[in-house]
Amino acid sequence: MQLIEQHIAAHKNVPGALLPLLHAIQDDIGYVPQDAYKSIGKALNLSVAEVHGVVTFYHHFRTEPVGRYILQICRAESCQSMGSEKLEAHVKAELGIDYHQTTADGALTLEPVYCLGNCACSPAVMLNDEIYGRVDANKINQIISEARAGELA
């Protein structure tokens, strides 16, 4: 909570502060805890309901803790044309989870994404901030096992 208070103090006077503040919190601890809505609202002169409304409007913001890595699979048209549906099914089976869930070992959270701007190298996925192109079952298995071993940045 102290960390969150620091972010709030740093953003309080920024015009249109709410999104930059939510990003700062999520970058830091991986999600935006609902407990923080009250102090955020107080600092920015918003009601708790308004803060909640903003957090839930945007797909990027999460209100629950996540795994060490976030694996995003592109579901958009260009990646579909190169077999992303199969890839998606493979990953779900491999990890035993669906979208918006985290593996039991806490290594990976699976998220859908709609285009990573890597459409000339479809299908594409992103692991935290690193992007991968022309991903097939072998490549994704390797990415997953490296992430599990904690070998990636």
Partner 1 sequence: MTVTVYIPRDSSALSLGAERTAKAIAVEAKKRDIEINLVRNGSRGMFWLEPMVEVATDGGRVAYAPVQPEDVAGLFDADFLHAGAHPLNLGLTEEIPYFKNQQRLTFERVGVTDPVSLDDYIAHNGYQGLQKALKLGGAEIVKIVTDSGLRGRGGAAFPTGIKWNTVLGAKGTQKYIVCNADEGDSGTFSDRMIMEDDPFVLIEGMTIASIAVGATQGYIYLRSEYPHALKTLNTAIASAYNAGYLGDDVCGSSKAFHLEVRRAAGAYVCGEETSLLESLEGKRGLVRFKPPLPAIEGLFGKPTVVNNVISLATVPIILNKGSQYYADYGMGSSRGTLPIQLAGNIKHGGLVELAFGATLRELLYDFGGGSANGKPIRAVQVGGPLGAFLPESQFDTPLDYEEFNKIWAVLGHGGIVAFDDTVDMAKMARYAFEFCAIESCGKCTPCRIGSTRGAEVMDNIINGKDVQKNIKLVRDLSDTMLHGSLCALGGMTPYPVLSAMNHFAADFENRS
Give the interface segment with partner 1, choosing from 63-71, 86-94, 101-109, 122-130 (CB under 8 A).
122-130
Which of 62, 118, 127, 135 is close enough to bind ligand FES by CB under 6 A?
Answer: 118
Q: Are strands 108-113 and 69-74 parallel, antiparallel or unpaired?
A: parallel
- In 3D space, the residue among 103, 90, 96 whose CA is nearest the CA of residue 137 turns out to be 90
Question: How long, in residues, is the chain?
Answer: 153
How far apart are CB 94 and partner 1 at their closest, in Å?
20
**What are the Cα distances from residue 128, in Å, to 5, 54, 104, 107?**
25, 23, 18, 12
What DSSP line would sit under 51-108, residue for residue? HHHHHHHSTT--SS---SEEEEEE-SHHHHTTTHHHHHHHHHHHHT--TT-B-TTS-E
Q: Binding to ligand FES by residue 76, rule CB under 6 A? A: yes
Q: Binding to partner 1 by residue 151, rule CB under 8 A? A: no
How far apart are CB 75 and ligand FES at their closest, in Å?
8
Q: Binding to partner 1 by residue 80, rule CB under 8 A? A: yes
What part of residues 81-120 is at the interface with partner 1 (CB under 8 A)?
81-82, 113-120
Which of 42, 63, 131, 148 is close enough to bind partner 1 by CB under 8 A?
Answer: 131
Give the interface segment with partner 1, choosing from 2-10, 13-21, 93-101, 141-149 (CB under 8 A).
13-21
Which amino acid, residue 124?
A
Which residues of this chain interact with ligand FES, rule CB under 6 A? 74, 76, 78-79, 115-119, 122, 124
